[in-house]
Amino acid sequence: MTMHPRAGAPAGVDDLVNIPRLMAAYYQLRPDPARAEQQVAFGTSGHRGCALDGSFNELHIRAICQAVAEYRTGQGLGGPLFLAMDTHALSEAAWGSALEVLVANGLEVRVQQGRGYTPTPVVSHAILNHNRGHADARADGIVITPSHNPPRDGGIKYNGPDGGPASAEATRWIQDRANALIAAGGAGIVSLSFAEAFERAVACDYVEAYVAELGDVVDMAAIRKAGIRIGIDPLGGAGLAYWPHIAERYGLDITVVNPSQDPTFAFMTLDHDGQIRMDCSSPYCMANLLAMRDDFDIACGNDPDYDRHGIVDQDGLMDPNHYLAVCIHYLFTHRPRWPATLAIGKTLVSSSLIDRVAAHLGRLLLEVPVGFKWYVQDLNDGKLGFVGEESAGASFLRMDGEVWSTDKDGFIPSLLAAEILAVTGLTPHQYYERLATELGRPVYRRLDAPASLAQKQVLARLDRSDVEADTLAGDPIVAILTRAPGNGAAIGGLKVVTEQGWFAARPSGTEQVYKIYAESFRDQAHLEQLIAEARQLVSATFAKAGV
């Protein structure tokens, strides 16, 4: 991975997107239904694109929301739809377009009072809470967000009545119907004026409803008693308004170090590739908070829709995989009311240290493809206590073993870091060191590389037969996976495993890149060999396919 010379440096004027031009493009440009890159495409977390590229425009949102309204009818969903947005510039425009169509279709649409921003996990939490008492009028939700993507991007995702990211079957139906509506030039889409739709929307207080129950999932009393000093950088995201309420309700020492909300995200430092990207797992994006780490016991950052977490202590930014292992070990040894049958969920590209932690705890491990949707049913059914993915997304149960959210929640892992320090006296880095000393110290890396749509399609079809060797980095291959062991679902790529390491290759579901993940339980040199052989396989696959 090539490092940009300004990685970690403050964004400059030339790095900022032209917001007026971006907003004009949202309304002025119409997608070409014959071009695949301008069609609606639901990846691992909804549809994402950019108005300037013709991939996230008014017609896209209107068509998607009309499709959602029709899908709800087919599923017999008669309850409210919770509508939320993050702080990206396109989110404001798309939120309005969504509201116009959803209300016109006769839906009760609930929005944050005062047109405030709403994090993804808050919507999941709201859906679950409503549906517990309204089996005959179930709710669902839409979140307008491209997550941590650059400021020029927009995104939209649908969460079903189970509170989590919609199933592949649901998103395929919505995607196909939306593309049909776009191909018809928008015929079949009903809408109201924004003024009328906004008048009919139901304002609610998402903030109070969510914050009031946080003590059910994290030991706030322990944090308060220990006097843990917590620093928060919301990275300009939708959770900014929540932290003062959390501090006041639970008596916590919380300092928001950056209260800015700016659609250009000009306050950010540049990511590894020189882009403005609100990725709280990147040390380059988190440079501002890292510079303040000695001012706090625990510091945390979150992406714009608050479904990811970045944990900082005096030793720096926690590696996401390391923190997942810490969370799992701590929770399963400090939640006495959790059933002994609860399992642990991880994605195939998360660290194998989690496998070792699960074995050490005597807990079943469920390994699934990338995408939080694979956890939703088992979380709701009370089979999984903790679920996570390598890109710093996680959720876990309430203290009594009841489901909290079925989507990634950036708040609760952030607060859990403070609980861990309060209860054990160990920072997350210190806790990890104890685990690594006992269970092994892996070296892990993820690489992203540009990929065309054709190349991504080739990677998604990788098969066991594409691996001709019987060794990897000098060790016998023990598994070649194209389906996840935990549920048998296709992983949309390939994972090759030995006793001492593994690599996986797969296309991104949200960006025009492919990803290589690799991990070694030996050393850095072994990791580099794993990556080199993974690259050779990908290059050979592209050459064979002529792409």
By annotation, the residues acting in catalysis are 147
Structure letter (DSSP) for residue 305:
T
Q: Give the separation between CA 369 and CA 377, rounded to whole angstroms.
A: 14
Structural contact between residues 159 and 395, judged by C-beta atoms closer than 8 angstroms? no
Any bridge partners for residue 384, and if so which? Answer: 343
H or E element at residue 72? helix 58-75
Nearest to 154, CA basis, from 236, 238, 49? 49
Helix axes 428-439, 411-424, angle to 10 degrees: 80
* Angle at CA of residue 381, ends 377 and 386, nearest 5°: 80
Structural contact between residues 41 and 172, judged by C-beta atoms closer than 8 angstroms? no
Where do the H-state alpha helices sit in 160-307? Answer: 168-183, 194-200, 206-211, 220-226, 242-250, 287-290
Q: Give the separation between CA 318 and CA 421, rounded to whole angstroms.
A: 14
Strand order in the sheet with 490-497: 443-450, 513-520, 501-507, 490-497, 479-483
Structural contact between residues 475 and 499, judged by C-beta atoms closer than 8 angstroms? yes
Nearest to 448, CA basis, from 213, 273, 326, 225? 273
Q: What are phi and psi of 270, to 5 degrees?
A: -75, 145
